[in-house]
A = this chain, B = another copy of it.
Amino acid sequence: MRDVAKLAGVSHQTVSRVINDHPNVRAETRERVLAAMRSLNYRRNLAARTLATRESHTLGIIGFETTLFGPESMLYGIESAARAAGYLVSVATVRELAHRPVLEAVDRLAQHDVDGIIAIAPKPAVTTALTHAPTGLRCVAVGGAGSGIDPFPTVRVDNVAGARLATQHLLDLGHATVHHAAGPPDWPEAQARVDGWRETLYAAGAMVPPISPGWWDAAAGYEQGRRLANDPSVTAVFCANDRIALGVLRALHEAGRRVPDDVSVVGFDDMPDSGYFMPPLTTVHQDFGELGRRALALLLHHMSRGDGDAPPADVVVAPEIVARSSTAPCRR
């Protein structure tokens, strides 16, 4: 920077002004400085800038190690939006969604002076750990089911509404009731899907079948599917996500129950290839990219407002159902 100043015949301070688009610089001077910058191939040192301003122009993301489809794809939405806003994105992942590892992740990001944090927080342990972030460090949580009293602004899909959509879709097709292949009971998102499913059945006066605890992958779905396939009264199944649905489809197939002729199946997420399952899966679409972008916008908004007198906003994105061939009118 000193070299640029010398070459342009100005002080280092004027160079700084040019870099930061300060208005009070004569056009001619600005040109001279810009020319010097170009000829010296000058690039501002962000570490020095961070030291002086206490702003790193870096955002942190806390994710978790998983093969879960959704959270991974969220990263891209966040990163591209952050880039557009002039931020770089740093990642800290945790192996398990517990208090301690999340605290360490926050700490790591804080040490690197991130200006804000977006945490993928499907379980409350993440959110509570976030409350111990250094004061002044803005956080936004994305995912989860929304307790209504979250300590942070939150972005999430309306899981209850999504489950309602799926269940109602099946009821509208004439099914007497809808069974549910549930996710893990200690995940609020899974619980919200159970809630939406159950209340829709209640409202319709339909019988509410029992559920059993599961997990998010196809193997767990297969187990659930075997259980359901044994029950001849099952004509419709709402699965907590598409991967579970994949397992359910296979279990039904093995048991000789045709989909959708004998049993209708609905998923949740709308994974990239679920339109090519056998048969193509009717599912509830979640736009993870959009979720990421909304989370970023919320974070930037809260960062710019300084200390938030505004209540922590809760952005809820509405899911929509994508009807394909795994659902059909009830034949009974």
Contacts and interface: CB of A to CB of B under 8 A. Distances in A.
Provide the main secondary structure of the chain A interface: helix
B88 A108 contact: yes
A83 B108 contact: yes
9 contacts: A43-B111, A47-B47, A66-B76, A72-B75, A76-B93, A88-B112, A218-B276, A243-B272, A246-B276
Contacts of A253: 278
- Copies of this chain, tallied across the complex: 2
B45 A51 contact: yes
Contacts of A44: 111
Interface of A: 43-48, 50-51, 56, 58, 63, 65-67, 72-73, 75-76, 79-80, 83, 88-93, 95, 108-113, 217-219, 221-222, 243, 246-247, 249-250, 253, 272-273, 275-278
Contacts of A217: 272-273
A217 B63 CA distance: 26
A258 to B, nearest CB: 13
A80 B95 contact: yes
B65 A80 contact: yes
A135 B22 CA distance: 31
